[in-house]
């Protein structure tokens, strides 16, 4: 039997973390006495590995400053996560769709710009540890859109490339999927606009999580990227 694998991005796809990411990035810039980036600019870099994300927000290349900003961001995030009012909810329908896919025999994985420590904290907070058989993070691979995370997930699970999909909210996710030769599926509730996901090569863009089930039940839609 062909193994089928659905790989999910986290921030902006499974978890509504936009407000946290924007606030922490702005705090990081203030720590260096820099003008904080606009929320729209921060949303553009969600999904990249953290040092690349901070570098992309700088007006001029400065690797040392980008690293310092990344450290400020981490400290701001850890402090915020420790607050009793911290809340990063799952998007509506996410848990139900994950449960349904598991019942239907899909293997589930994650490919995220988070570090492994942060990913495991998110999964534990929402009780999702048992759902995923492969976890790929930016601290163990090149940043998206490099295909390394998907390649590792395929190797770990033994899933067929032609029966694997990548679900994400940014063009980085779509381009990563195309580079790995798996089907890219976008979501409309995340950080990059729908038209940009299609321009990057998304096979479809979901407006509700539940639509993923109908899409994956049509095998003709799951083909390797040419």
Residues with catalytic roles: 9, 11
Q: Could you say which DSSP state residue 39 is in? A: H
- The set of residues, in sequence order, having a beta carbon less than 8 Å from that of 225 and lying 6+ positions away, is 177, 178, 181, 182, 183, 184, 201
At how many degrees (to 10) do helices 18-31 and 63-81 cross?
A: 130
Distance between CA 147 and CA 30 in Å, rounded? 33
Q: Establish whether the linkage from the previous residue to 188 is cis, with ω within 30° of 0.
A: no
First to last CA, the chain: 24
208: closest CA among 193, 192, 191, 186?
186
215: closest CA among 190, 188, 184?
184
Is the CB of residue 42 less than 8 Å from the CB of residue 21?
A: yes
């Amino acid at each position: 039997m062909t193994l089928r694998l659905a790989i999910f991005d986290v921030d902006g796809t499974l978890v509504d973390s936009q407000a946290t990411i924007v606030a922490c990035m702005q705090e990081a810039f203030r720590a260096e006495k820099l003008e904080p980036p606009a929320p729209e600019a921060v949303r553009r870099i969600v999904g990249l590995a953290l040092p690349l994300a901070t570098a992309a927000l700088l007006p001029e290349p400065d690797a040392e400053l980008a690293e310092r900003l990344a450290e400020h961001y981490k400290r701001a995030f850890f402090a915020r996560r420790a607050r009793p009012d911290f809340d990063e909810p799952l998007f509506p329908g996410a848990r139900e769709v994950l449960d349904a896919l598991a019942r239907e025999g899909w293997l589930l994985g994650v490919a995220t710009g988070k570090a492994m420590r942060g990913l495991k904290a998110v999964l534990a907070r929402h009780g999702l540890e048992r759902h995923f058989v492969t976890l790929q993070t930016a601290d163990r691979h090149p940043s998206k859109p490099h295909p390394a995370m998907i390649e590792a997930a395929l190797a770990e699970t033994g899933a067929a490339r032609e029966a694997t999909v990548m679900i994400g909210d940014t063009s980085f996710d779509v381009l990563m999927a195309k580079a790995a030769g798996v089907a890219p599926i976008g979501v409309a509730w995340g950080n990059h606009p729908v038209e940009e996901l299609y321009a990057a090569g998304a096979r479809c863009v979901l407006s509700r999580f539940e639509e993923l089930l109908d899409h994956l039940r049509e095998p003709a839609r799951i083909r390797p990227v040419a």
